A and B are shown apart, each in its own frame.
Chain A
Amino acid sequence: MDEQQLRIFVGIIQHYFEQETGRPAEVGSPYLCDPSQLPVHDFTGVIGISGNRKGCVYFSSPREILREMLLRAGESDVSDENLADLAGEIANTISGNARREFGHEFLISVPIVVRGTHQSISVPRDVRAYVIPFRWHKVDASLVVSVM
């Protein structure tokens, strides 16, 4: 995954936050991370990538961010179900945009939402993943791109 492609993923997240909350998410400096130490927060929307390159992209948020987003949208029900739905919506947005941007390069799966630890997130082994930290409403979330 080259710089341009990473920027597209970053752009999708930034645009989503700006569009939905009117407040952009701050992007931290990206770094590399071994698969065993990848950051995983409370709710993670995972998109599988296959084709010439194989792996996954996920956006993981702590519940605080999702709860705040729901409240701002006028939604008072901040149950885990609703938070997971929102995480799914973010993942769908990433997936939909990514499919439009990279449809000719990769095959992008329908996203799924994983709660809690990353044991059920399957990332390629032996690949250093890019971690791009995001901060919104003083809380950190992470975009992880792990593609062989």
Chain B
Amino acid sequence: MEFQFATLADFLAMGGHGSYVWASYAVTIAALLALAIYPALRRRQLRRELLRQQRIERRRQVKRTEIAEPA
């Protein structure tokens, strides 16, 4: 098994079909990366939302205790 192209330029040209081959691979990589990254982004979003809700909840509780026991 050996590398099929003599030079890097040959490899990129793909015998005149370079644009079709490389565009196919580029779009595929971009699409697969999007699928791979999405869960992590969504998870971060959910985590932020949860932390925000918990902060609001805590602030409310502090206020409630202030009203219940005026200084």
Q: Does A pair with B?
A: no
- Spell out B's residues near A (CB within 8 Å): none
A-side interface residues toward B, CB under 8 Å? Answer: none
